Structure 1
């Protein structure tokens, strides 16, 4: 990891830059696959499954029998854990249900909103080096609470044509309607355009590698909505002398093991903490099964020594981290000043992995600085709001002249006339 001491503000932008990757060749590949799937449907999907996932499938759908069989392949301990996590996620997201109220803006003019579920949603669940069954809960549970009529899930199968049983079990528990053995670009294309087997959806959710992210952004240009733009996962830890160096190191490594392109950052005013955390990282890194991945991520990562809390807050808001852990004595004081972050974890006993799995908050969050403008996935992500207005005779008398003046000033005389006729009546 790179140690940076007291950097001037003029250098912050360069210091906080995410790892850059040349995606020009990637975009060409993604575009060609998407076009082929749009033109040839299932036939193309089968071919790309054989090419990219190295499996020759006879059917893209997961059968009820396969879903039932998966239950016996998941330990009772994990099944119990998934059910507890599902309950916490459900409790938190149910608290976000929109309550509409009617507002009289002018006497005789009433306006209100109605929340309506997006009818068809598609969930993409990675299944490679880390099959993310937890993401099934994070996406399917709020979709179910919102009232989405059709919840479609795609996840890559292994070389035997089987999706990870924990993913299937979580999907069954969360109420997913249809599951397909499709990974990567071809999964995004199938859900965006629809094929003979896969229904077209209205919005696609879920993480993935660079190919999946590029595919989501391409189809979002005109074919389907997506949850958010995204890049590699990241965490920032703010820590002071009260922090436990072992906790901080574990938090940094838990994000670093996500992928070689992940980024982890620590900001602190304590120089001694930096050396203690580095020592702990070396000790813990040696024990990690995903050590090689974490080591690569640490090459993109930084320990930054700053002068005071003001600098820490300003740098944090400039970085806009996906995950922010505040391990300081005054964590609420700092948290109250944060305006750009995906999800914040407060105090010495709140690891980021709690939000990843079971505390109840959603772990599908904006990365790559998008936390300056985007929220993480929440119940609102699965609904749209329709506005209503009702105007009485008294209301049109009260508001009509205002509308006429404004319409005439914009030279939209048919707009004005729609009001004038009613006023004369």
Structure 2
């Protein structure tokens, strides 16, 4: 029995429905999220702890919100040594990649004595959100915290929902320690975003919030934007695989399932002009999904938000991929590098038959916090610039003001701003 639908690229209605389905679920929850954010803004720690008990079944007091040094030391005693070594390798690769992104402050004098420049400054205090509870996502810790530290952020604060016993997963804690996180708090969901944005007695407010979360987290980030900055509005995971006849059906199916197992709302899409490959991948999906521990989640994702799309050519497949603007784009084609220049919209591009999406999730080095829901048209992956701000520097000399001042006066008067003009004119008179 097929677990995924096969549709023709000419069926525009079906394709539009597939695209629209990525964000259609957000509006219904907005009112509830707004109420949570406002309660935490007004009620601080007490509201935060109340919601932690309600949503995470963890009964903790304000005094227990912050993870202690003893808890981190205990986590190091609990984790597998080989997993720790893998985390340390991942941290080094992520740091090395992101160091290449660093920008430098610059200053440029001109012949009249003016100096123009730009200061590149790290943000002072950043909050990172890491999903938690019964799950463990140490990779998300590294992907958020390491670029922040490479950028020079002095205070990196992490929030993550605790398990019902009030503890944080030891792998999450160890990853945070390895990445240099300065403070860790046991809080999740929209309530944690509100605490970071507005501050509580225990959690000082931050300048920016980054990191992926569920729909409640995403909507809360949207609501507090302006109070603080955010990285992006991330939705459910998605993967789009463009394949030709050279693709291995088992590989393609495995890659689609790597995202389908994330979430019932995740999207896994194969676009191909090879009908035989489409049928083979459909069969492989049915075979492989039955062996997954999270098969019920993956089945719902495949049935409701995923598809195999048949096109007439590779050109048509690539054009449709650009329309989709996916979070993850795999090119399982014979000459992937030759097609790379035709890609305009994607969070991350994986080239060739041996670059499956999980390589990027864990160890390759580029960030796995990526734009979703078609926002790769204008958003970038999380990167070092996410944690930096730019400050313009202007230093005019008497000579440069004398030379350019009349133009400034003229433009200010054109806009009807006499005081603007006078601030320059008064200096020009003194310089005569």
**By how many angstroms is 1:12 displaced?**
4.6
1:20–1:152 Cα change, 3 Å: closer
Tell me how far apart the structure 1 counterparts of residues 231 and 134 of structure 2 sit (CA, whole Å): 23
Count of aligned residue pairs for this structure pair: 424
**By how many angstroms is 1:8 displaced?**
5.8
Is the partner of 2:139 in helix, strand or coil?
Answer: helix
**By how many angstroms is 1:399 displaced?**
1.7
Tell me how far apart the structure 2 counterparts of residues 30 and 16 of structure 1 sit (CA, whole Å): 25
**By how many angstroms is 1:2 displaced?**
1.6
Return 400-409 or 313-322, whichever deviates more.
400-409
1:363–1:422 Cα change, 3 Å: same
Q: Deviations over 1:51-94 (max 9, x none)?
A: 11111113111110000000111101100000000000000011
Residue 289 of structure 2 corresponds to 285
**By how many angstroms is 1:371 displaced?**
0.7
Please show how residues 2-401 of structure 1 align to structure 2 within 5 Å: 2-7=5-10, 12-19=15-22, 21-58=24-61, 59-104=64-109, 107-128=112-133, 130-220=135-225, 222-299=226-303, 300-401=305-406
1:110–1:76 Cα change, 3 Å: same
Tell me how far apart the structure 2 counterparts of residues 340 and 312 of structure 1 sit (CA, whole Å): 13
TM-score by length of 2: 0.94
Tell me how far apart the structure 1 counterparts of residues 31 and 9 of structure 2 sit (CA, whole Å): 42
**By how many angstroms is 1:392 displaced?**
1.7
Q: Deviations over 1:276-310 (max 9, x none)?
A: 11121122111111111100100110111111232
1:106–1:5 Cα change, 3 Å: farther
Determine if contact 1:108/1:396 at 8 Å carries over to the other structure.
no
**By how many angstroms is 1:18 displaced?**
2.8
Tell me how far apart the structure 1 counterparts of residues 178 and 337 of structure 2 sit (CA, whole Å): 36
Determine if contact 1:61/1:181 at 8 Å carries over to the other structure.
yes
Return 98-107 or 43-52, whichever deviates more.
98-107
Tell me how far apart the structure 2 counterparts of residues 401 and 121 of structure 1 sit (CA, whole Å): 44
1:12–1:405 Cα change, 3 Å: farther
TM-score by length of 1: 0.96
Determine if contact 1:112/1:389 at 8 Å carries over to the other structure.
yes
Is the partner of 2:339 in helix, strand or coil?
Answer: helix
1:10–1:332 Cα change, 3 Å: farther
Coordinate RMSD, CA, aligned:
1.7
Tell me how far apart the structure 2 counterparts of residues 68 and 321 of structure 1 sit (CA, whole Å): 40
Determine if contact 2:126/2:206 at 8 Å carries over to the other structure.
yes
Determine if contact 1:106/1:399 at 8 Å carries over to the other structure.
no
Q: Deviations over 1:27-73 (max 9, x none)?
A: 22211111111111111111111111111113111110000000111
Residue 426 of structure 2 corresponds to 421
**By how many angstroms is 1:104 displaced?**
4.7
Tell me how far apart the structure 1 counterparts of residues 76 and 259 of structure 2 sit (CA, whole Å): 29
Structure 2: state its 5+ residue gaps. none
Q: Deviations over 1:397-422 (max 9, x none)?
A: 33222212211211112222222222
Tell me how far apart the structure 2 counterparts of residues 231 and 370 of structure 1 sit (CA, whole Å): 10
Tell me how far apart the structure 2 counterparts of residues 103 and 345 of structure 1 sit (CA, whole Å): 39
Determine if contact 2:22/2:235 at 8 Å carries over to the other structure.
no
Tell me how far apart the structure 2 counterparts of residues 72 and 301 of structure 1 sit (CA, whole Å): 42
Tell me how far apart the structure 2 counterparts of residues 109 and 12 of structure 1 sit (CA, whole Å): 56
1:326–1:129 Cα change, 3 Å: farther
